[in-house]
């Protein structure tokens, strides 16, 4: 099959060309023409707590597969089901469902659903001072609970607070097991955050949210996230979790290769429902996001493509650079190096956008979703 348009390249550039593909991309060539449709790699979301009424914490493997189909139709062609803080026994149950869905996704290589890339565990090894919407079940990353989590075979990404007792050793052990560690829900100082990076942490979870605030005399974890380092901040560009001016600041500081777009979306997203229990309490959709009764943000209701649009329209990012942040960078972080990019040999996971960035078509494994 062939597709022509304005192609977003892995370096952030946009060029007019033609893609030839079957299940993978077989050729790229420059062509002339007047078409103004954009062709982007399928987007990769590393933080999905739920969507379309499906909550990862209560979802069966079949429900996760159903959620994969919903996400694909929004332009996210790969994702990580994200479990939140809970008793370890509950996390083990959630892991079993995710592991089954993960294995089914890899085996079936479905062309009508987003690929599952493994489990993101956001907690319970987080700071009691930066819980956000999480329940007060936080644990230190050591002992039996940590050993049980470390043994979870579908675990690919974990959010933890490096300043907790045992935190740095936990980062080293997780990294040795090829689990990506993200610093988040943390009260870390600058030195503690940098120690986490030195131990192997390679991401920051939803930058600016649920972490020690930036202060010019106590720069904290945010200063570490904005400084050049191997750790890349994830950011929620819904216009609520982060002000557009701070989105621009983060992009200026880290550049296109140093930002990952995530949704951190919850089960209320993509539904007409306005209320659901999330984390530690009831959440409702108010002022553009999910919130607890006390106003605490409990997650977003956007799609990945919504996030791309906000980065382009409100943060001044080019479409090509936004594609890098929403597809290439997250895929690279978790070792999915044949996804999230338009190049020969990569999965033919593609999205076609109109001039106003409206979604026209989604291709997964070279087949167009109907």
Predicted local confidence at residue 203, as pLDDT: 98
Q: What is the pTM of this model?
A: 0.96
pLDDT, tens only, 207-223: 999 999 999 999 999 99
Predicted local confidence at residue 307, as pLDDT: 98
Distance between CA atoms of 269 and 258, rounded to whole angstroms? 27
Task: Enter the tokens of residue 117.
Answer: 């890339």
Predicted local confidence at residue 280, as pLDDT: 57
Distance between CA atoms of 42 and 149, rounded to whole angstroms? 30
Nearest CA-CA partner of 268 in 282, 257, 258, 255: 282
Low-confidence residues of the chain: pLDDT under 70 = 34, 274, 276-280
HSE of 89, CA atoms in CB hemisphere, 13 A: 0
Reported CATH class of domain 42-332: alpha beta
Task: Enter the tokens of residue 93.
Answer: 């149950």
Distance between CA atoms of 128 and 136, rounded to whole angstroms? 7
Q: What is the dihedral of CA 24, 30, 31, 34, to 10 degrees?
A: 100
Predicted local confidence at residue 249, as pLDDT: 97
Task: Enter the tokens of residue 188.
Answer: 């870390």
Predicted local confidence at residue 10, as pLDDT: 97
Predicted local confidence at residue 370, as pLDDT: 87
369, burial (CB in 10 Å: exposed 0-12, middle 13-18, buried 19+) = middle
264 counts as catalytic: yes
The residues with which 78 forms a beta bridge, in sequence order, are: 44, 115
CB–CB of 42/76 below 8 Å?
Answer: yes
Predicted local confidence at residue 260, as pLDDT: 98
Query: Catalytic one among 238, 264, 306, 349?
Result: 264
H helix intervals, the chain: 61-72, 88-108, 143-150, 167-176, 190-199, 220-226, 244-254, 304-313, 319-323, 329-333
CB neighbourhood size of 345 (10 A): 10
CB–CB of 95/319 below 8 Å?
Answer: no
Predicted local confidence at residue 32, as pLDDT: 80
Per DSSP, the three-state class of 76 is strand
Distance between CA atoms of 45 and 238, rounded to whole angstroms? 14
């Amino acid at each position: 099959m062939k597709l022509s348009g304005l192609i977003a390249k892995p370096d952030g550039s946009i060029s007019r060309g033609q893609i030839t593909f079957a299940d993978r991309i077989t050729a790229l060539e420059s062509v002339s023409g007047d078409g103004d449709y954009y062709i982007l790699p399928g987007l990769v979301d590393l933080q999905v707590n739920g969507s379309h009424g499906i909550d990862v914490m209560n979802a069966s493997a079949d429900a996760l597969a159903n959620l994969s189909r919903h996400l694909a139709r929004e332009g996210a062609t790969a994702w990580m089901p994200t479990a939140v803080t809970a008793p370890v026994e509950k996390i083990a149950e959630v892991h079993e469902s995710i592991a089954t869905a993960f294995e089914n996704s890899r085996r079936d290589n479905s062309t009508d659903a987003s690929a599952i890339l493994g489990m993101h565990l956001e907690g319970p090894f987080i700071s009691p001072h930066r819980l956000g919407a999480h329940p007060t079940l936080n644990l230190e990353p050591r002992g039996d609970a940590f050993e049980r989590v470390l043994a979870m075979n579908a675990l690919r990404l974990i959010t933890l607070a490096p300043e907790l007792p045992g935190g740095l050793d936990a980062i080293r052990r997780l990294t040795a097991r090829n689990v990506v560690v993200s610093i988040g829900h943390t009260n870390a100082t600058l030195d503690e955050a940098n120690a986490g990076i030195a131990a192997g942490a390679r991401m920051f979870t939803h930058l600016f949210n649920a972490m020690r605030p930036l202060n010019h005399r106590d720069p904290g974890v945010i200063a570490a996230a904005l400084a050049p380092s191997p750790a890349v901040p994830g950011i929620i560009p819904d216009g609520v979790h982060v002000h557009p001016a701070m989105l621009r600041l983060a992009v200026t500081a880290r550049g296109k290769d140093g930002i990952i777009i995530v949704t951190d979306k919850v089960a209320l997203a993509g539904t007409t429902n306005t209320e659901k229990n999330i984390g530690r309490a009831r959440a409702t959709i108010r002022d553009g996001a999910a919130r607890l009764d006390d106003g605490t943000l409990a997650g977003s209701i956007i799609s990945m493509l919504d996030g791309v649009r906000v980065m382009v329209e409100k943060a001044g990012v080019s479409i090509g650079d936004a594609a890098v942040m929403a597809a290439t960078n997250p895929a690279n972080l978790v070792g999915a190096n044949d996804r999230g990019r338009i190049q020969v040999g990569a999965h033919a996971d593609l999205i076609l956008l109109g001039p106003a960035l409206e979604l026209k078509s989604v291709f997964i494994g070279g087949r167009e979703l109907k």
